[in-house]
Chain A
Amino acid sequence: MENKNKSLIDYLLILGDNSLILGHRLSELCGHGPSLETDIALTNISLDLFGQVRSYFQYAAELTGGEATEDTIAMKRVDREYRHTWLVEQANKDFAYVIGRQFLFDAFHLPLLEQLVNSKDEMIAAVAAKSIKESRYHLRFSSSWMERLGDGTQESHQRMQTAINDLYPFTYEFFEETATEKIMHEAGIGANLKTIETTYRQTIKDVFAKANLEIPSAPPRKTDGKKGIHSEQLGFILAELQYMQRAYPNMTW
């Protein structure tokens, strides 16, 4: 296969897998949220993310050709072939973790999409244009909960700071440019991670201030999710995500 296509497909996985795994984590929460309103909100966010995944993976399947479909891409790869960051894999320990993970992702995702709307690749630009409206709602939701919990009660503040202390170091990976991202960026297709980082840091500063939260000083976790090296959590996630396709291969659902 053409090298350019290979990089493009890899890039689509880098984009889509974050939404896939994060969507999956959120979908675990249905019916278990702290209130009906948050249950609905998290389900909605999960739904939006999976919608984006479908667009990215349908495109990737087209480029891959053969028998590839959005579903073989989502559910038939092995762990080393997934390209998401460690942040989105983190478990739903408590609601503070759910919000922390969501906020850190949204703060990165929105500026990413804002760049991708100008991608030279028409499809990526279209997906980004669609997703950006939704991502704005997501960021608003997660930011306001960061505030509520960070500046709520003593207990909520402690839980929120603890969650952030654990999750924040994983965000290092967002801005580590992989070979694929470099190729895509230079081709005018992919985003400039440095630009995203600037916007991201400002958002973090603003929201953390409103939420009375400290930006953790712990060293970053230099993980290689975008290169396929994941945490222990992924195995369990895939066991559920892929179960039906693996137990009943080659059937129509």
Chain B
Amino acid sequence: MVAADLQSLPTLVQEALLEITDPEIPVLSIMDMGVVREVTLEDQHVHVKLTPTYSGCPAMDTMAVDIKRALKKRGYDATIKLVLAPAWTTDWITPAGRAALEAYGIAAPLDTQSDKFALIDGKRIVKCTNCGSSNTKMVSQFGSTACKALFQCEDCLEPFDYFKCLK
């Protein structure tokens, strides 16, 4: 998916949107997460189309509130619309987003095949966020949030989160 193009929008609007992050993963901006589908401007009114990551993700409502607040601060009204199709996939996380996740201690999603190997077949391919070793094992397919699984490194023993592939 091509991320929503902000280039043609006024600087203040761009600023506002670039400021908003996932409330639980503050290093990940909503732009880098790929949840912003479209942004259009009508006078001083901004229309934002967001796509949810997981069906029950509680962060979406909060992101909408945050976007409105950031735009209001800069003199714009906003309407946020949640669009379900096309469905969000982890492919839409930008390279910057992936790097931010890794730096924060969450292993970025692998491709579908590798994800299955790691989660279901127990293959050791997810890289430890602490020491970089691939000698890692899955502790739990379901982690603290819908998007994550818990892994542990058998070299440095670090427990760490893995962002699951969703496609």
Dominant SS among interface residues on chain A:
helix
Q: In the complex, which of the residues B55, B85, B141 contacts A41, with contact meaning CB atoms closer than 8 Å?
A: B141
A40 nearest CB across to chain B (Å): 4
Q: Is the CB of B85 within 8 A of A134?
A: no
Using CB atoms and an 8 Å cutoff, list the residues of chain A in contact with chain B.
36-37, 40-41, 43-44, 47-52, 54-55, 122-123, 125-127, 129-131, 133-134, 137, 140-141
Q: Which residues from chain B sit less than 8 Å from chain A, CB to CB?
A: 52, 54-57, 83-88, 120, 139-144, 146, 166-167
Q: List 18 A-B contacts (CB under 8 A).
A: A36-B140, A37-B140, A41-B140, A47-B56, A48-B55, A48-B146, A49-B56, A50-B55, A51-B55, A51-B56, A125-B85, A126-B84, A126-B85, A129-B86, A130-B55, A134-B54, A134-B55, A137-B141
Residue pair B142, A122 in contact (C-beta under 8 Å): no
| Contact (Cβ within 8 A) B85 A122 | yes
Determine if A130 and B140 form an interchain contact, defined as CB atoms under 8 angstroms apart.
Answer: no
A-B contact count (CB 8 A): 65
Given A130-B52, A131-B55, A134-B55: A44 and B146 interface contact (C-beta under 8 Å):
yes
- A40, A122, A131, A134, most chain B CB atoms within 10 A: A40
Distance in angstroms between the alpha carbons of A43 and B56 in the assembled complex: 11
Please tell me which one of the listed residues B57, B87, B140 contacts residue A126 in the complex, with CB atoms under 8 A apart. B87
The answer to whether B87 touches A133 (Cβ under 8 A) is yes
Complex alpha-carbon distance, A126 and B166, angstroms? 15
Q: Which residues of A contact B140 (CB under 8 A)?
A: 36-37, 40-41
Q: Return the chain B residue nearest A133 by Cβ.
A: B166
CB distance from A31 to the nearest CB of B (A): 15
The residues of B that contact A48 with a CB separation of less than 8 Å are: 54-56, 146
Chain B residue nearest to A58 in the complex (CB):
B82
Find out whether the CB atom of B142 lies under 8 angstroms from the CB atom of A44.
Answer: yes
For A130, give the chain B residue with the smallest CB separation.
B87
Q: Within the assembled complex, what's the spacing in Å between the Cα atoms of A126 and B83?
A: 8
Smallest beta-carbon distance A127→chain B, Å:
6
Could you tell me the distance between the alpha carbons of A131 and B87 in the complex, rounded to whole angstroms? 9
